[in-house]
C-alpha cells in the first residue's frame, strides 16, 4: 500500500515536471515566433545561385550601336555625405570648392535619392539598377568571420527591436554578398569594351573569407580598397586579389589620398579606351581620419575635415580629365550612398541615415559633362541611384538585360535638358524588408514608418512597443474612430512645399492619399510575389 502511494506521488511529480517543461517549451516557441525577424515572406532560398538557371557570368551583352562613340563614365561616391554638406547647397562651415565648381559647370539634382538609407543596400541598387532587396540585401553586410559573441549580440538586437530599443527588425540580409546572378554596371560595360575599376569601399560581401564576392567576380578588371566600412574592424586593405593590410585599425589617414592616386592612375592608363571608374570613398563615414593636410582646418570639426578631403579628391579627378583632354567625352557623377549619420547636415530635411524620411534617402547629385550637360542647370525631377544602370548602358549603346526587371530609368533626357515626363515615375522606399513609402511627383505617401529617430523606433505597429502604444488610443463611446495617443498612419506630405515632412495633409487630400495608397499596395503585392524580379520568356 505504502509502495503504491509513493509510486503515485512520483507519477504525479513527473507529470508536473512534464507539464512544466511543455509550458516552458510552448512559451519559448511562442516567444521565438513572436520575436522572429520580419521578412514579409521573403525566404533566403530565393537568393541561392541555383535558384536561377542563368547567371550574370553567362549574360550576353547586346551592343545596340557598336559604331557610336562611347563616353567614359565615372561615379564618385561619398559615404554618409549629407544633402546640406555642400557649399552650393547651403553649407557654411565646410568649404567645398571642387564640388561647387562642378555643380556650377554641370547639373545639380534637387530631388535625388539613394535606393536605401544605409550603405550596403544602397550600393547594390546603384550597381544593379534594381531595388536592393531584389539582391537579398537590405541592411549593412556583416563580416564573414563574426565571432560567436557578435552573432549573439546581433540576434539580441533583433529581439530588442520588437521592444523598440533598436531598429533591426528585419534581422540579417538574405545573402552574404551580392549574388553572382546579379548583373552590375561593370559587367555590362566590360562586355561592350570598357575597362573597369573599383576603388575604395566595397561592402557587398566580405571577400576576405568569401572570394566569390570580390569585385573581380562582379565585372571589375581592377580593384584597390577595403572589404567593408572603415569601422567594420578588422578592415582589410587590398590591391587586386592580394590582401596588403589585414586590419587598417586607426591608421587610416593615408587612404583618401591612396584611393585618389589609384583613380588618377587608372584614368591615365585608360585614356585610349572607354572606361568605367567606380570611386567609392570612405569619407565622411565615421571614424574620421583626415590626412595631416586637412586635419583641423574645417569649422565643422573632423567630419568637415573629411568632407574637405573628399572635395579635394573630386578636384584631382577633374584636373586629370582636363589635363588629358578627356572632359568632353566623360560623364562624372558625384553622389552619396545615404544621408548623414551622427555628424553632417541633412540640409533641413527630416530624418537621417537609416530612416525613410527625406534626410535618410535624399542625397546630393551632381552630373558634369562639358558640352553635353548645360552648365548651372538644376533638375527637380525625382531620381534614384538605380537610374545609373540604364542611363550608363544607354550612353554606351548597350541593351538592358531582358531576363529581369530593371527598376531604374534612363536619366539621359534630363541630362540633355528635357525628360519632364519622368516626373510621373513613382519611386519606392524600403526599410529592411518592408516597403514603407512611395514618391510620385511632389507627393510622398507613407503606409507606416517610425516617427522616432533611427535607430530607436517607437510607434510603428510591427514592434511590441508600437502595438502597446497604439493600444492606448482612446475610442469614445458610440464612435468607430480612435483618438491616437502617438502618431497616425497613413501619412501624406507635399514634398516641394514641405521638404522637411512636417505636415501630414492626408485629411486635406483624402482622394489623392487613397490613390497613392492603392498604387503602393498594388506594387508591394507584385514585388512580394516576385521579389527577385525574374522575367519568364
Q: Which one is catalytic: 27, 40, 59, 119?
A: 119
Measure the CA–CA gap between 378 and 346, rounded to whole angstroms: 19
Nearest to 232, CA basis, from 273, 204, 197:
204
DSSP three-state, residue 275:
strand
Q: Which one is catalytic: 59, 162, 203, 431?
A: 203
b/e map 454-470, b = 16+ CB within 10 Å: bbebebbebbebbeebb
Q: Is 27 labeled as catalytic in the residue annotation?
A: no
DSSP-derived secondary structure for 91-123: -SSS--HHHHHHHHHSEEESSEE-SSSSHHHHH
pLDDT at 285: 96
Angle in degrees, CA 92, 95, 98, rounded to 5:
135
Tell me, what DSSP letter sits at residue 177? B
Structure-block grid coordinates of residue 224? 584597390
DSSP three-state, residue 338:
coil
Q: Where are the alpha helices (DSSP H) in 167-300?
A: 185-190, 255-269
Q: Please write down the long-range contacts of 26-34, taking CB distance under 8 Å and 24 or more positions apart.
A: 34/162, 34/464
Which contiguous run of DSSP H or E holds residue 520?
helix 510-529
Q: Between β-strands 195-201 and 222-226, what pairing exists: parallel, antiparallel or unpaired?
A: parallel
pLDDT at 61: 57
Q: Is 218 labeled as catalytic in the residue annotation?
A: no
* Phi and psi torsions of 195, nearest 5°: -85, 140
Residue with cell 586593405: 237
pLDDT at 10: 65
pLDDT tens sequence across 33-92: 556 788 888 888 888 876 654 444 445 556 555 556 799 999 999 999 999 999 999 999
How many Å from the N-terminal Cα to the C-terminal Cα in the chain? Answer: 80
Contact 128, 183 (CB under 8 A): yes
**Residue 41 CB: number of other CB atoms within 10 A?**
10
- What are the residues whose beta carbons fall under 8 Å from the beta carbon of 287, sequence distance 6 or more? 230, 231, 250, 252
Taking CA atoms, 360 is separated from 126, 286, 351, 508, in Å, by 16, 16, 6, 26
DSSP-derived secondary structure for 345-383: --TT-S--TTSSSHHHHB--EEEE-TTTS-TTEEE-S-E
Cis peptide bond upstream of 333, omega within 30 = no
Residue with cell 487613397: 514
pTM: 0.91
Contact 10, 16 (CB under 8 A): no
Residue 479 φ/ψ region, left for φ over 0, alpha for ψ in the -120 to 50 degree band, beta for the rest: beta
Which contiguous run of DSSP H or E holds residue 29?
helix 2-34
pLDDT at 11: 62
- What are the residues whose beta carbons fall under 8 Å from the beta carbon of 140, sequence distance 6 or more? 118, 119, 120, 203, 229, 232
Contact 189, 392 (CB under 8 A): yes
- The residues of the chain scoring below 50 in pLDDT are 53-58
Amino acid at each position: 500500500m505504502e509502495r503504491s502511494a509513493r509510486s503515485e506521488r512520483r507519477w504525479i511529480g513527473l507529470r508536473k515536471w512534464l507539464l512544466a517543461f511543455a509550458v516552458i517549451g510552448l512559451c519559448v516557441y511562442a516567444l521565438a515566433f513572436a520575436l522572429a525577424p520580419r521578412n514579409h515572406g521573403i525566404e533566403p532560398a530565393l537568393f541561392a545561385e541555383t535558384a536561377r538557371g542563368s547567371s550574370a557570368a553567362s549574360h550576353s551583352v547586346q551592343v545596340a550601336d557598336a559604331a557610336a562613340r562611347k563616353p567614359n563614365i565615372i561615379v564618385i561616391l561619398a559615404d554618409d555625405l549629407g544633402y546640406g554638406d555642400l557649399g552650393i547647397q547651403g553649407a557654411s562651415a565646410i568649404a567645398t570648392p571642387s564640388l561647387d565648381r562642378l555643380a556650377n559647370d554641370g547639373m545639380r539634382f534637387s530631388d535625388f535619392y539613394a535606393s536605401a538609407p544605409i550603405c550596403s543596400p544602397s550600393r547594390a541598387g546603384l550597381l544593379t539598377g534594381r531595388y536592393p532587396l531584389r539582391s537579398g540585401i537590405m541592411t549593412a553586410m556583416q563580416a564573414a568571420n563574426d565571432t560567436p559573441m557578435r552573432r549573439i549580440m546581433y540576434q539580441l538586437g533583433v529581439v530588442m527591436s520588437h521592444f523598440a530599443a533598436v531598429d533591426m527588425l528585419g534581422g540579417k540580409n538574405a545573402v552574404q554578398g551580392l549574388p553572382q546572378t546579379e548583373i552590375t554596371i561593370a559587367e555590362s560595360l566590360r562586355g561592350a569594351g570598357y575597362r573597369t575599376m573599383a576603388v575604395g569601399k566595397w561592402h557587398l560581401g566580405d571577400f576576405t573569407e568569401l572570394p566569390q564576392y570580390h569585385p573581380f567576380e562582379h565585372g571589375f578588371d581592377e580593384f584597390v580598397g577595403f572589404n567593408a566600412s572603415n569601422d567594420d574592424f578588422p578592415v582589410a586593405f587590398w590591391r587586386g586579389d592580394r590582401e596588403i593590410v589585414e586590419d587598417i585599425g586607426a591608421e587610416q589617414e593615408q587612404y583618401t589620398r591612396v584611393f585618389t592616386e589609384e583613380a588618377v592612375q587608372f584614368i591615365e592608363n585608360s585614356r585610349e579606351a572607354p572606361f568605367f571608374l567606380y570611386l567609392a570613398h570612405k569619407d565622411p563615414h565615421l571614424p574620421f581620419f583626415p590626412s595631416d593636410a586637412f586635419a583641423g582646418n574645417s569649422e565643422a570639426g573632423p567630419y568637415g575635415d573629411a568632407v574637405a578631403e573628399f572635395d579635394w579628391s573630386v578636384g584631382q579627378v577633374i584636373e586629370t580629365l582636363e589635363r588629358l583632354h578627356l572632359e568632353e567625352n566623360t560623364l562624372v557623377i558625384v553622389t552619396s550612398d545615404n544621408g548623414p549619420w551622427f555628424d553632417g547636415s541633412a540640409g533641413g530635411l527630416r530624418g537621417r541615415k537609416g530612416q525613410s524620411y527625406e534626410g535618410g534617402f535624399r542625397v546630393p547629385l551632381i552630373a558634369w559633362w562639358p558640352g553635353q550637360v548645360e552648365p548651372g542647370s538644376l533638375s527637380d525631377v525625382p531620381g534614384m541611384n538605380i537610374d545609373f544602370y540604364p542611363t550608363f548602358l544607354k550612353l554606351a549603346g548597350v541593351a538592358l538585360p531582358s531576363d529581369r526587371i530593371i527598376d531604374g530609368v534612363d536619366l539621359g533626357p534630363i541630362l540633355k535638358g528635357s525628360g519632364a515626363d519622368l516626373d510621373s515615375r513613382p519611386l519606392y522606399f524600403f526599410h529592411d524588408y518592408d516597403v514603407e513609402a512611395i514618391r510620385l511627383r511632389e507627393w510622398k505617401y507613407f503606409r507606416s514608418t517610425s516617427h522616432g529617430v533611427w535607430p530607436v523606433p517607437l510607434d510603428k505597429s510591427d514592434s511590441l512597443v508600437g502595438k502597446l502604444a497604439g493600444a492606448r488610443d482612446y475610442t469614445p463611446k458610440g464612435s468607430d474612430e480612435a483618438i491616437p495617443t502617438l502618431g497616425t498612419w497613413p501619412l501624406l506630405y507635399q514634398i516641394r512645399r514641405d521638404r522637411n515632412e512636417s505636415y501630414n495633409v492626408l485629411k486635406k487630400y483624402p482622394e489623392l492619399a487613397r490613390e497613392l495608397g492603392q498604387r503602393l499596395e498594388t506594387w508591394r503585392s507584385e514585388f512580394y510575389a516576385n521579389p527577385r524580379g525574374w522575367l519568364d520568356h
